[in-house]
């Protein structure tokens, strides 16, 4: 299908942690890969957003490249999708300023990410506005993201509508978020909390964990009282393991429960470990090959940035014009009278 008749999809991920974790793959990246044939996809590594933690510069640079390699290893295909680094497209920061001027102080204060940290930098405060710019620059119809990003998408829709109401129809309002229930991955050591990069202990499965580390983490996962392998609210640990097994194998939870009738938690853990190793071992291999070839990564990113800039500049030119920013006069040779 030609790009013009396919829906536009955009999403981003921050280059934090030492790798992506299982929850990033389940909640976001596996959907990104699956959408590449039906949609005109733009996927980026959000290095500007990563600056809110003021990471070590050398580490941020390295991790940004690794994050790109990881996305490619997880199935993003630069021949079908535009894969790029956020800071390579200056229009993100430029549109964020214009949108920030339409965002209420109270509105930004109510965003949970800011509220939960109880303050911080102006960058943290305006984080959702930059994210809105990321999305609106590419006229995205849909934004596949984890459940925790729903509020950011709602702000994005509000800002697009506000811009259009103030200046005339300019920005595409992305579709409301439609997440899947029941596929939220929890920490293996504390199944009451979602798995996250920031916890990052023995309860977090990294996409790039080696098979030994991965198996060990699954084997020491917290389970529940009783012995039956069933998903239920009073068995959060077992439910989490069944959910992981379900997304890793593509079998639904009821079918898995039947498989494990008469078996125990140890069998379940062994199956989960095997499934995750089968899933991620090839990813690790592709990742190793990709980081060993920096020239190839550079070429992918140069091409991605070029394609992204073209689309972003089209939107930004319309925004400047609508908002009344004076277009610069064409340069003329110095000395010409
Ligand atoms: N805030 C997102 C996260 O933490 C990352 C992100 C930045 C993003 N810009 C985006 C996601 C634009 C979707 C669209 O996961």
pLDDT 10s digits, 320-334 = 999 999 999 998 877
Q: What is the mean pLDDT of residues 285-311?
A: 98
Using CA atoms, how far residue 178 sits from 41, 124, 142, 337, in Å, is 17, 25, 9, 60
Average pLDDT over residues 106-112: 95
Give the pLDDT of residue 103.
Answer: 98
pLDDT mean over 7-16: 95
Task: Please identify, by atom number, the ligand 1 atom nearest to the C-alpha of residue 134.
Answer: 12
Q: What is the pLDDT of residue 302?
A: 98
pLDDT band (50, 70, 90) for residue 91 = very high
Enter the DSSP assignment of 175: P
Q: For residue 49, which atom of ligand 1 is closest to its CA?
A: 7
Would the pLDDT of 305 be above 90? yes
DSSP state of 8: E
Closest C-alpha to 104, from 131, 133, 125: 125
List the catalytic residues. Answer: 117, 194, 197
Ligand 1, atom 6, lies closest to the CA of: 12
Chain center to CA of 239: 24
| Residue of 117, 132, 149 to mutate, ligand 1, most atoms within 8 A of C-beta | 149
CB 298 within 8 A of CB 72: no
* CB contact set of 3 (below 8 Å; sequence gap of 6+): 40
Whether 39 shows a pLDDT value over 80: the answer reads yes
State how far the Cα of 85 lies from the Cα of 68, in Å rounded to an integer: 8
Average pLDDT, stretch 307-317?
Answer: 98
- The angle at the Cα of 26, spanning 46 to 141, to the nearest 5 degrees, equals 55
The confidence band for 199, taking pLDDT boundaries of 50, 70 and 90, is confident
> How far is residue 65 from each of residues 17, 30, 123, 330, measured CA to CA in Å?
13, 19, 23, 37
Quick check: 237 pLDDT over 60?
yes
Ligand 1 geometric centre to CA of 131 (Å): 6
Best of 49, 64, 160 for a ligand 1 pocket test (most atoms within 8 Å of beta carbon):
49
Predicted local confidence at residue 147, as pLDDT = 81
Ligand 1 midpoint to CA 203 (Å):
23
Is the pLDDT at 230 greater than 90, yes or no? yes
pTM more than 0.85: yes
pLDDT tens digits, residue range 43-74? 999 999 999 999 999 999 999 999 999 999 99
Q: What is the structure's pLDDT at 182?
A: 53
| Averaged confidence pLDDT in the chain | 94
Q: Give residue ranges with CB within 6 A of ligand 1.
A: 11-14, 46, 49, 131, 134-135, 143, 145, 149
Q: Residue 98 CB: number of other CB atoms within 10 A? A: 20
Rounded mean pLDDT, 256-270 = 97
| Segment holding 85, helix H or strand E | strand 82-85
For 134-177, the pLDDT digits (tens) are: 999 999 999 998 888 999 999 999 999 999 999 999 999 999 77
């Amino acid at each position: 299908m030609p790009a013009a008749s396919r829906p536009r999809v955009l999403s981003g991920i921050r280059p934090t942690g030492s790798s992506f974790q299982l929850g990033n793959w389940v909640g976001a990246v596996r959907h990104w890969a699956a959408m590449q044939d039906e949609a005109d996809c733009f996927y980026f590594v959000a290095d500007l957003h990563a600056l809110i933690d003021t990471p070590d510069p050398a580490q941020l640079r390295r991790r940004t490249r690794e994050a790109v390699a990881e996305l490619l290893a997880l199935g993003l295909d630069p021949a079908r999708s535009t894969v790029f680094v956020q800071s390579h497209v200056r229009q993100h920061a430029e549109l964020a300023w214009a949108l920030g001027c339409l965002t209420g102080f109270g509105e930004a204060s109510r965003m949970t990410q800011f509220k939960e940290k109880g303050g911080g930098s102006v960058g943290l405060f305006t984080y959702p506005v930059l994210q809105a710019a990321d999305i609106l620059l590419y006229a995205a119809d849909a934004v596949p993201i984890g459940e925790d990003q729903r509020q950011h998408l709602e702000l994005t829709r509000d800002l697009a509508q506000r811009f259009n109401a103030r200046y005339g129809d300019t920005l595409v309002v992305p579709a409301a978020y439609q997440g899947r229930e029941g596929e939220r991955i929890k920490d293996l050591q504390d199944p009451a909390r979602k798995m996250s990069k920031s916890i990052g202990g023995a309860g977090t499965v990294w996409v790039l964990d080696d098979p030994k580390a991965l198996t060990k983490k699954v084997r020491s996962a917290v389970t529940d009282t009783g012995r039956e392998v069933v998903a239920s609210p009073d068995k959060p640990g077992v439910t989490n393991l069944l959910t992981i097994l379900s997304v890793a194998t593509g079998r639904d939870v009821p079918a898995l429960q039947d498989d494990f009738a008469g078996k125990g938690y140890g069998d379940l853990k062994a199956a989960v470990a095997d499934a995750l190793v089968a899933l991620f071992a090839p990813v690790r291999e592709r990742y190793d090959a990709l980081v060993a070839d920096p020239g190839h990564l550079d070429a992918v990113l140069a091409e991605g940035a070029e394609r992204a800039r073209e689309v972003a500049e089209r939107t930004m030119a319309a925004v400047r014009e609508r908002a009344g920013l004076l277009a610069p006069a064409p340069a003329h040779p110095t000395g010409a009278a």
